[in-house]
């Protein structure tokens, strides 16, 4: 069984609603806001083609077990048939913008099924976005498990 906390959003299904945000995305440039929405939708749908387009070729994920993963690893994990994730809300959102980059971060409680087993985990994540060749892509993600209690 693939470890549940290996990635931020493990293998999502089309039946799930996109995540809701407690933060205000109205301050984001329209093209970044559109990319963020597309990335969320791609994870929810398990859309490998969209993830391939939205993740930088040199994308790096540092997962909740402090392991480094690649773009191919994330796409494989997010498109695993049978894995599901319930809708979730991004809380305690942090947004930082600069000319060709941004950090979008927050905390979520993830619940679903991974490798046939139900899971529930509270994590904090940070996605680093970069505008390259006129389009926004996720270049780096860090995930930290929030201890219970």
List C-alpha distances in Å: 71 to 54, 74, 82, 96. 10, 5, 21, 23
pLDDT band at 2 (very low <50, low <70, confident <90, very high): very low
Rounded CA-CA distance 4/73 in Å is: 14
User: Are 126 and 58 a contacting pair, CB within 8 Å?
Assistant: no
Interval 50-109: pLDDT, tens? 999 999 999 999 999 999 999 999 999 888 888 877 777 889 999 999 999 999 999 988
Domains parsed from the chain with CATH numbers = 4-145 (3.10.450.50)
Asked whether the predicted pLDDT for residue 18 surpasses 70, the reply is no
pLDDT of 23 strictly over 60? no
The answer to whether the beta carbons of residues 2 and 114 sit under 8 Å apart is yes
Gap between the Cα atoms of 44 and 2, Å rounded: 18
Spatial contact of 125 and 142, defined as CB atoms under 8 Å apart: yes
CA distance 86 to 97: 29
């Amino acid at each position: 069984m693939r470890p549940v906390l290996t990635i931020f959003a493990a293998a999502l299904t089309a039946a799930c609603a996109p995540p809701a945000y407690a933060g205000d995305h109205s301050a984001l440039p329209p093209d970044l806001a559109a990319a963020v929405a597309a990335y969320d939708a791609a994870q929810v749908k398990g859309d490998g083609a969209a993830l391939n387009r939205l993740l930088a070729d040199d994308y790096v994920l540092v997962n909740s077990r402090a392991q480094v993963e690649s773009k191919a690893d994330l796409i494989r994990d997010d498109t695993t048939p049978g894995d599901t994730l319930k809708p979730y809300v991004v809380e305690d959102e942090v947004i930082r913008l600069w000319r060709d980059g941004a950090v979008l971060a927050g905390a979520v409680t993830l619940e679903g099924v991974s490798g046939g087993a139900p899971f529930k985990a509270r994590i904090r994540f940070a996605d680093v976005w970069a505008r390259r060749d006129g389009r926004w892509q996720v270049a780096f993600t860090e995930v930290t498990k929030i201890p219970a209690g």
